[in-house]
């Protein structure tokens, strides 16, 4: 159910922000992750260390960057490096959270941001991996942010751009990826999801305000695991909305 007091985008930003722990490192992409990181620094995670693909590390996000190479990603930062250094930091295990998006996701958290349809003549060509494969392969916990529908939550991705749990338990390790890494949360306009420990399949964790389990399942192209107890995500607080609207995104670039 829509709430006129806030948009679904504002809700997703707040939910993503709440997943960012204080004193953690987080690989931040363009768009919602930037707003979420900025909100987290102002609300509960003032010691959050954002890492951007082009090398900005530890910036204080006083003004919203327009992209991962914007000069604001270096503002009062700890380190100004380059893309190779940023990716190497993730490969060395120094980055805890990675924020990702995509055009498709499957039950194991595999992401597609490359093509829709079959090669060599797909229906749609998308931007491709960028740093998505590196982030999903090397960061300890990846958090996916995307809108939920049967077109985006699919039984099998058309192209594997970023590995989730691949085809199930042990698959990441067999592929040579670091143990104990992989998808952690999926934040959508309907709910928050995680992944069952044994099967590595997507599980409904908490519903957004006004949403019922049947709606979340109807917007998913595969069967979700439904636990006995399903949580409820809190609405954006007045302070979260004030910060988003009056300080973080005053020009309404994203909200």
Residue 127, domain CATH: 3.40.1080.10
Positions of E strands within the chain: 25-28, 49-52, 56-57, 79-80, 97-100, 104-105, 111-112, 115-116, 124-125, 141-145, 182-187, 191-195, 202-207, 231-232
**Residue 68 belongs to some domain of the structure:** yes
**Residue 254 belongs to some domain of the structure:** no
Residue 8 vs residues 37, 70, 72, 191, 239: alpha-carbon distances, Å: 18, 26, 26, 11, 17
Kindly indicate the confidence band of residue 1, based on its pLDDT and cuts at 50, 70 and 90: very low
| Each residue's pLDDT tens digit, 152-161 | 999 999 999 9
To the question of pTM greater than 0.75 for the whole model, the response is yes
Kindly indicate the confidence band of residue 254, based on its pLDDT and cuts at 50, 70 and 90: confident
Kindly indicate the confidence band of residue 120, based on its pLDDT and cuts at 50, 70 and 90: confident
What mean pLDDT is predicted for residues 61-79? 89
The whole-number pLDDT of residue 96 equals 95
Mean pLDDT in the chain? Answer: 94
**Residue 170 belongs to some domain of the structure:** yes
Nearest to 96 by CA among 20, 187, 149: 20
Nearest to 27 by CA among 136, 164, 177: 136
pLDDT of 99 above 80 = yes
Q: Which residues pair with 26 in a beta bridge?
A: 50, 97
Q: How far is the C-alpha of 236 from the C-alpha of 253, rounded, in Å? A: 19
The whole-number pLDDT of residue 4 equals 77
More confident residue, 253 or 248: 248
What are the tokens at 229? 């107890």
| Each residue's pLDDT tens digit, 179-237 | 999 999 999 999 999 999 999 999 999 999 999 999 999 999 999 999 999 999 999 99
**Residue 2 belongs to some domain of the structure:** no
| Each residue's pLDDT tens digit, 22-43 | 999 999 988 899 999 999 999 9
Catalytic residue list contains 223: no
Phi, psi of 225 (to 5 degrees): -80, 125
Instruction: Say how many domains are in the chain.
Output: 1
**Residue 253 belongs to some domain of the structure:** no
**Residue 255 belongs to some domain of the structure:** no
The whole-number pLDDT of residue 3 equals 63
Look-up of token digits 């707040």: 14
**Residue 1 belongs to some domain of the structure:** no
The whole-number pLDDT of residue 187 equals 98
What mean pLDDT is predicted for residues 127-147? 93
Q: Which of 53, 62, 229, 240 is catalytic?
A: 53
| Each residue's pLDDT tens digit, 49-66 | 999 988 899 999 989 888
- Domain that residue 129 falls in: 8-248
């Amino acid at each position: 159910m829509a709430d006129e007091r806030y948009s679904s985008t504002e809700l997703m930003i707040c939910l993503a922000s709440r997943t960012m722990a204080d004193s953690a490192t987080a690989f931040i992409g363009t768009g919602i992750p930037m707003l979420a990181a900025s909100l987290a620094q102002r609300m509960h995670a003032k010691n959050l260390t954002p890492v951007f693909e082009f090398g900005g590390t530890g910036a204080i996000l006083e003004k919203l960057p327009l992209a991962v190479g914007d000069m604001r990603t270096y503002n009062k930062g700890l380190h100004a490096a380059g893309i190779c250094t940023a990716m190497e930091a993730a490969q060395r295990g120094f980055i805890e959270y990675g924020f990702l998006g995509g055009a498709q996701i499957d039950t194991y958290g595999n992401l597609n941001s490359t093509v829709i349809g079959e090669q060599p003549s797909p229906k749609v060509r998308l931007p491709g991996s960028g740093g998505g494969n590196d982030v999903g392969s090397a960061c300890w916990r990846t958090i996916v942010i995307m809108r939920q529908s049967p077109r985006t939550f699919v039984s099998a991705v058309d192209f594997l751009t970023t590995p989730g749990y691949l085809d199930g338990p042990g698959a990441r390790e067999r592929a040579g990826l670091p143990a104990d890494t992989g998808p952690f949360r999926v934040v959508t306009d309907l709910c928050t999801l995680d992944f069952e420990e044994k099967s590595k399949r997507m599980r409904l964790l908490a519903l957004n305000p006004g949403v019922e389990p049947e709606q979340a399942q109807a917007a998913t192209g595969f069967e979700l695991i439904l636990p006995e107890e399903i949580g409820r995500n809190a609405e954006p607080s007045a302070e979260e909305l004030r910060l988003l609207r009056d300080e973080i995104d005053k020009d309404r670039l994203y909200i």
